[in-house]
A = this chain, B = another copy of it.
Amino acid sequence: MSSSKPTTSPVSVPEAVVNRLSMYLRELQHVVAAGKPTTSSSQLGRRLGFTDAQVRKDLAHFGHFGHPGIGYRCQELIDAIRCILGTDRQWKVALVGVGNLGRALLGYRGFDPQGFEIVAAFDAELSKVGNEIESVPIYDIARLREVVSAKQVELGMVAVPAEHAQAVADQLVEAGVTGIVNFAPVTLKVPEGISKVGVDLARELEQVTFAVANRLRSAEHGAELDQTEATKTGS
């Protein structure tokens, strides 16, 4: 039992595990940045709010990465997780919608180091077309299919108004992307075999207000032994 390459065919991994895998990765990067070469399931768990057993079980889905008596060598585990997540290589991403949010995504410094490169942006407003933002060229959305194919873009980010999101997603799929991150507050329909994730900013806030409102309710109400903690995803 010692380090090894990730199991090639994970057969069926709960989505929650994949979520936590990303968190472990981020945390490991912080540990490395702090100069520590190794860490342990309990340390990792403590920092993220999980039990040590959970951390070990999660990682065990993919292989044997730990060293008994030692813990995990950070760089080793980072490499393994990136391999599992598929970010051991660079992914080409297209952004559709160069509004406020789109521009923010173009300027976001966190993508490149994690393996994502925005190689093209699209907008329907012709005054934006032809410019570059953060050295990403902006194309007429009418050319989406052509450009996405030509540049071999694999992932799409949808940052257009809700009413156009489905149409944009359809075009992205048509053009050959295999995964979509959607920032519009609608539920996209995508064909089987295309992955998608939705990020809805108002919904994130609602998760917080629920916890707050709930706390207020129990407080004024009469001290139920209620304990709803809204520590959803880490961070």
Task: Provide the residues of chain B in CB contact with A227, threshold 8 Å.
Answer: 12
Flag if B105 contacts A197 (CB, 8 Å): no
Question: Please, which residues of chain B bring their CB within 8 A of the CB of A222?
Answer: 9
Q: How large is the interface on A (under 10, 10 to 19, 20 to 34, 35 or more residues)?
A: 35 or more
Residue A54 interfacial (CB < 8 Å): no
User: Which residues of B sit under 8 angstroms from A27, Cβ to Cβ?
Assistant: 187
Minimum distance in angstroms from A80 CB to a CB of chain B: 13
Task: Name A235's closest neighbour in chain B (CB-CB).
Answer: B198
**A interface vs B, CB < 8 Å?**
8-13, 15, 18-19, 21-23, 25-27, 30, 47-49, 84-87, 91, 93, 99-101, 103-108, 110-111, 114-116, 154-155, 178-182, 184-188, 193, 195-218, 221-222, 224, 226-235
Please name 18 pairs of A and B residues whose Cβ atoms are closer than 8 Å in the assembled complex, sorted by A. Answer: A9-B218, A13-B228, A15-B232, A26-B186, A84-B213, A86-B216, A91-B209, A99-B107, A100-B106, A103-B104, A110-B185, A110-B200, A155-B205, A182-B235, A195-B208, A197-B232, A198-B233, A199-B199
